[in-house]
Structure 1
């Protein structure tokens, strides 16, 4: 009898523990650490949903729904295991629903409904009323829902997400355009895939800031923007470990510029990733703080001179790894906040000083940890899958790229912007126009960073000339990049390589004026190999090694792997006067692409001390 009672007690405890764990909010942390308000409500967790394969949901008035039949865990996409759904075929339409309750204490403030990201087009409804439509699967957006809700009441929130991945008009990144994953294309992400949250904001609250750290003049320059201008005052305080080291009060208008001198500024760098805390307060005429935002900044400068990239006015050699940000259980969404930090720590343990964040816009909390840990990043868009000659594609992508830069430009860890990857589209009119527009938009929105307009692709306007080369032999790789005649490898509009000699290039069967000179490496900007390696390793922990994908023939032993890897890295470093930095493919395996330094589950493949010794090598000129 005692045994039975004990067993029943244990079962009850286990059930209570299970339901308690199930009730926990996934990804509970505030998603925007560089622009943080303390009063907010996380809307992650269980929502109801329904697929809409016939695209008849609007006719059936699903926007008026008070709940669907099936449940999904937000912010995980329906393709993922963590969502509780795991449907991996194409999803062209999906509807979400959940109840939202507006706290009584939010009365008198504007209510902002925020989305980290929804792939691809999102429509938002409250109690059947249309609120907002957003285009772009990788960017954050916000809706003012004040007129649709009432404090102390509960409302029906419906989100309709649409995706036409194979239309070639939207940025897909590494999402597979086939039913199944293949090669270097993987499981898709549809619908809500980042945190959803609400927060109250003063009617005259702070909307955004652009922060420029001017280390040459030892000052910080801030351009604030407000939801509504008023007679209020914006107070900005910059703190070093709790001590105010700079402050300024200005009128809370969109014309105001905040300039704060910082004496003996502590510079941010990988060696010393020091961050100043920043507090923004909007104070009304009665002296009351009506809005407060907590932030931070890193004092640093990046620029190019000649063929080198400089950090804080010193040549800085980048040893990057390609990070695609996929997770076995969450696909594009990290299972936990700790997983974001862990990926950076794994990369640093392998000897890299940063990452090219590849074909995905990473969430802001990843940049937060990069900022804190001193980890260099390149901000990139999910550009694959687009027809860059199409007008609608350009319209979609230009707007999304603008949002990406505006959201992330205050993060000190981001050194380079890279809107496109391997853009080889054979069009001498629309593609050059598109690429040039991307460059100009990038520089207009953020003049403080170099732009690598098309990584490994056709360069129109660019601050960096980058190439990709997966030659597995180190000596041949070296000759590919820079040969005995002093010629650089260069990419032509059709994706082939050329040594800079004159070419007659024809497109679509029509004779064209030779424009190859337009795409040549000019010789006075940094030249980088930002994809190489990709060495396949399939001997261990592989169920179907014949189905795996990587570059070259897989080494037969780990010693052969180390030798091949070191040969490639040594070859690149030896060209320190010609090639100023590299990016190795890649940090982890991703599904069938098994050429990572780590396995897909982040476990180690190799002796990481030996791996670190290889990737920690630095050209002697990097002092």
Structure 2
């Protein structure tokens, strides 16, 4: 178990040590790159709708203009937890709050972090523009040191711009009409992940990349150093530990601001695989990086990693060089009171625990780049995760640029998580609806596949989850047939499975041959069963618990036993708004006893 379980109240709030239990989402927001000193800016902010787009003309960015409403950050105004709960269109919103800089931050640079702001953001501190960012799911930061006042209060102002009705925006499941419908849900506009401050030394560790290699029993470390001058005598000291016992150390003299080093892990007396990371045994190693300049410590960062490998050998999907069938559940990451934002850290942990309790060893996070805290709990508790981009619905050249830039940021953010075992840049031809007859859209899908492989060669990439694959490492199929005999026949033979055309779509784009890739059924089931006051729909319907259990077995058992399939992803973990096809209700109550679901899933 990693030593890096960060608890609520860690760090500072408004310059005071500790924080308070009342501060929303006050757990450490970046669990794979931990510094001891930080300060949350979550909580009550001033807020305003700006439907007339008057704010910048009237100088709201200067910080002197008080905003009339109040909102609880990091919950968006559409959500109940924000204190506003307005689902109507308001594409321009403003935020304002003040804070004081703790005295012990003197002499350091001050970084202002945003976990995610949907969709475009401008940020001012004391009237100075310090950051702009495009992309609704990825983090950004600003060095605000030079914008600070000398002593006293500082004021931060944020303008967020969304495009609620633009179907070419990378938006995931957010609906472009006012009221959610079908497979689309309530929108998210503005700040929806944590906002926080972090003091760093003038020379500091910017980011790290951790690549385990179980075949060589070593970790490949890449580190980027910020502010390193040519005359600086700097060194990076690395310590790797397991359960408190040091298993690797190194001291690296820094001649340039980037460093790459392979570190041998010397804790396997018999070179066994007893400490490899798996969902059944999620072993984690702690790594501490200490930066010294002229012999003095100026920065210290803690992280963790898992020794694990995802590979395909002779058409077989493997974890740690052994065949590993994936039993996934589709998880959309929505919550009744917070929408895309979990109400608290415990809710994210509970989703991982419930997924495992039902017999699944993984989750496909659907049309959402998930909060890093969810990935942290998946790392710690042991759950495979497929990372998926939030797509647009239609293609334009502007969309191609937007989705590419944001996807690069997403892969960089989540690269170090051992739980993450596959990348899905496109789903069901969203954004490339004419991929079979439009060469431009076909090239975009190919580009996203190759881009992802160039950013991360260690994980398989699914080119277009569900159907109409071009180049792909895994062939994935979405099939909501609900009759046991249909599923048994369809997935008994590979040729029959690839020619079945569920949803009347080619599995492979014509011209792209079957190259023997692993085949997985990554959406199926979707059985509607009402267990609360929610009205809604699913792909087939159950009348009562007994009928639901029978229908669940009728779809999962033939899929689990199918000789063609190396894994599956059942739709879905929870009900979401008008969809009532979850194994759990929207408020996470099981529709059948967990152990009964587990018996069906595991067999």
Pair 1:369 & 2:377 matched: yes
Aligned to 1:587: 573
Cα distance in structure 2, aligned partners of 1:301 and 1:605? 35
Pair 1:614 & 2:600 matched: yes
Aligned to 1:282: 291
Cα displacement (A) at 1:127 = 1.6
Cα distance in structure 2, aligned partners of 1:485 and 1:601? 41
- Give structure 2 stretches of 5+ with no counterpart: 1-18
Cα distance in structure 2, aligned partners of 1:569 and 1:523? 27
Aligned to 2:554: 567
Pair 1:379 & 2:387 matched: yes
CA contact (8 A) 2:468 2:505 kept: no
Cα distance in structure 1, aligned partners of 2:552 and 2:188? 33
Pair 1:542 & 2:545 matched: no
Aligned to 1:12: none
Listed as ranges, the matches of 1:194-593 within 5 Å are: 194-230=193-229, 231-252=233-254, 253-263=256-266, 264=268, 266-285=275-294, 287-383=295-391, 385-388=392-395, 390-423=396-429, 425-427=433-435, 428-481=438-491, 486=496, 488-489=498-499, 496-498=504-506, 516-518=510-512, 520=513, 522-538=514-530, 540-542=531-533, 545=535, 548-552=536-540, 554-576=541-563, 578-593=564-579
Cα displacement (A) at 1:557 = 2.8
CA contact (8 A) 1:168 1:393 kept: no
Task: Look up the SS of the partner of 2:451 in the other structure.
Answer: helix
> CA 1:113/1:491 → structure 2, altered by over 3 Å: closer, same or farther?
farther
Task: Look up the SS of the partner of 1:420 in the other structure.
Answer: coil
- Give structure 1 stretches of 5+ with no counterpart: 1-20, 501-514, 618-623
> CA 1:484/1:156 → structure 2, altered by over 3 Å: closer, same or farther?
closer
Pair 1:50 & 2:48 matched: yes
Deviations 1:224-267 (A, max 9, x none): 11222243101111011112110111133334212110121621
Deviations 1:265-290 (A, max 9, x none): 621111210101110100111x2110
CA contact (8 A) 1:456 1:491 kept: no
Aligned to 1:144: 143
Aligned to 1:503: none
Cα distance in structure 2, aligned partners of 1:283 and 1:171? 42
Cα displacement (A) at 1:98 = 0.4
Task: Look up the SS of the partner of 1:257 in the other structure.
Answer: strand
CA contact (8 A) 1:236 1:279 kept: yes
Aligned to 2:129: 130
CA contact (8 A) 1:205 1:227 kept: yes
> CA 1:534/1:499 → structure 2, altered by over 3 Å: closer, same or farther?
closer
Aligned to 2:16: none
Cα distance in structure 1, aligned partners of 2:416 and 2:384? 14
Cα displacement (A) at 1:397 = 0.5
Listed as ranges, the matches of 1:25-36 within 5 Å are: 25-36=23-34
Deviations 1:71-128 (A, max 9, x none): 0000001001110010101221000000022222212211110000000000001122
Using the TM superposition, name which of 170-179 and 290-299 deviates more. 170-179
CA contact (8 A) 2:334 2:341 kept: yes
Cα distance in structure 2, aligned partners of 1:139 and 1:490? 37
Q: Which ranges of 4 or more aligned residues in structure 1 deviate by more than 6 Å?
A: none
Cα distance in structure 1, aligned partners of 2:301 and 2:494? 57
RMSD between aligned residues: 1.9
Cα distance in structure 2, aligned partners of 1:409 and 1:533? 31
Cα distance in structure 2, aligned partners of 1:529 and 1:90? 37
Aligned to 1:621: none
Aligned length: 570
Cα distance in structure 1, aligned partners of 2:209 and 2:110? 23
Aligned to 2:92: 93
Using the TM superposition, name which of 109-118 and 603-612 deviates more. 603-612
Aligned to 1:168: 167
Cα distance in structure 2, aligned partners of 1:56 and 1:537? 47
> CA 1:421/1:141 → structure 2, altered by over 3 Å: closer, same or farther?
same
Task: Look up the SS of the partner of 1:165 in the other structure.
Answer: coil
